[in-house]
Structure 1
Amino acid sequence: MMYRRAVVSTGGGKGRINTEHLLFFAVFLGLCFITVSAWPMGEETFGNKPLGDGNYTDWPGIMPLINDEHRVYSNWCNGNEYFYYLGDTETLNQFLALFAALESPAHEVTFRPGPGRAQSFHNDRPIPIDWQMHLVGGIVAQMIDFEGTADVWDMHPTLTVYLTEKGRIQLDKVTLPEKVTVLQMADLRDKYRKALQSDHPRMHADTVTKLAAEDNLNIENIPLIAGVLKDNDVYARICAVVSLGRFGALAKSALPELQEASRSEDHQVSACAKESIKKITNAPDLTDDIERFRKIEAHIDGLLKQARSGESARLEQKTSAETR
């Protein structure tokens, strides 16, 4: 199924983007998608039918990555775009080589616990994936610039690789080009926690949304997000109450704060808080999922430390040989 691209109306003023568009975009970033047929702001593609290069001139060399034969799904919403792929270690290595050749100021790849799944607009089918590529442009890039929230966004093409205990991707066999910067969940957490120390309410809004979308099996995020419920900014509080709901049973410690938010004079804050309370109260136990996530995260950390140690030794040997 394909949807024609359209842009959100600003109504002739920036204020309208700040409220209506930002609220929708928080939903897009991991909460849920508004029905596209009723609000045509995006498009999605299933399979690997080649996409035209007219929309991607900002990223020279990106088309071989976008149109890689292992792409299984992609979606776009006003410039925020994701491409999803299914493959093994060999195909990922080929993809990484192309990614490193891309004209970009940075080449960041995050290795994280899986399994990876993409979500279609209507969430009407499961889409298993092994890695994804994220691009930001269009209205979303303008919005980020206007709001000053670039510190928590991918302002250049980035990759995320999902790893499982018996998955198709074997990290110890992945070949990392020199240009690639490797990140882990710990790096993302550091970035987001630093952003929450900012006095910028829009930074808070974007950060809690990302924490809920990318790290919702980490109980340490709950008090950080709950703290945003004290913000004076209504939009930030809406993002916080909705984000807490995405943690399910893990967010039970935040129920008192959500109960208070449910009595807010702001209708949106109140309604979203009540919905999150229902989700948390009725959510299944996550103990097994959390244990599995932590086990894989520790495995990733160990392998990457070994890889860095080996690379350091190789560079020392090279330097020593060159100075003789």
Structure 2
Amino acid sequence: MNTIARIEIDWPSLGLTVTADLDDRNAQLAQALLDVLPYRSLQGHALVAGYYLYHVTPVHSVFHLPTPHRADRRTLPDGTLFCSRLQHFGIKYGTLTEPMPATPIGQVDPADLDTLAEAGRAAWDSVYSSKKPVIAEVRHAGRPGGHNLPRLTATDPIADQLIADVHTETTRAWLEPPTELLDLHDGRIRSGAGSYGTTMTTMLFVNGESRPLGYSVYGGLIKAASEQLPMDALRHMARILAGTPGEFLAYCGLETLGHFTARLLACLDRLDNRDDFIAVMAHMALYVHCLGGWNLQLFPWHLGEHLRTQPEPR
């Protein structure tokens, strides 16, 4: 493999930085990441897969770029970098258990693997127990950092205004938890969602609905559009797939997402331009992924501390 560029991943609040080389195993993915640098994002940690860091990356094209090299993450060395169609920039720093084919784009410098593991442990503590957010910054090696969320455009003015509004709200929520999620996790839900006054069930359902809405619905629609599915079929599938989860999440407290969903459904007939369709869906996907990241950060995972995997009987 050949090196494309060197980058740095920095966690300012932790005082930790690692350097990595991007390579040409999935060259277009690596270049797409380079094109949006520098940026900052809420640092997440895998909750079921093992020792794995990830954050949402603002690469709109990740859903449809070619990925010629795929491999089982479990078999790749610690420090491997990944960019996935879940719109995640991920780093393996230890044993993984999930057999997921993934798209590697680079490798952390071997000299920085201990620092990477330290960052991984701190990120796990952030997500699982302390709830103090950790922000990651990704930048060109040796260059200044910074942050910017790219904005796509649409030729249709109604669609472009929706993109602008979703982009503004995504920017607002990117590095600070959105008020609606804070309210939900504090038990303030205007609709009264939650049978017998419980909030845990509502928080759980928000997590269960928001992740596939971003990954499967909006990500799937973008992928289908890039593969030239007819526009009538794309609009029809958008109505079928996006409406119900958007309405349900609004009932659970994510009212801004509900308003954006309603506007999206109302302007679908105007989206006869494939690029417009992809642009709108890409911004909806990024917004939902942003909400999903914060929901995972705020969720009280520590309440399950007594629930532990058991050794298999001999």
Q: What band does the TM-score fall into relative to the shorter chain? A: under 0.3
Larger relative contact order, structure 1 or 2 (CA cutoff 8 Å, min sep 6): 2
**Larger-Rg structure:** 1
**TM-score normalised over the length of structure 2:** 0.28
**TM-score normalised over the length of structure 1:** 0.27
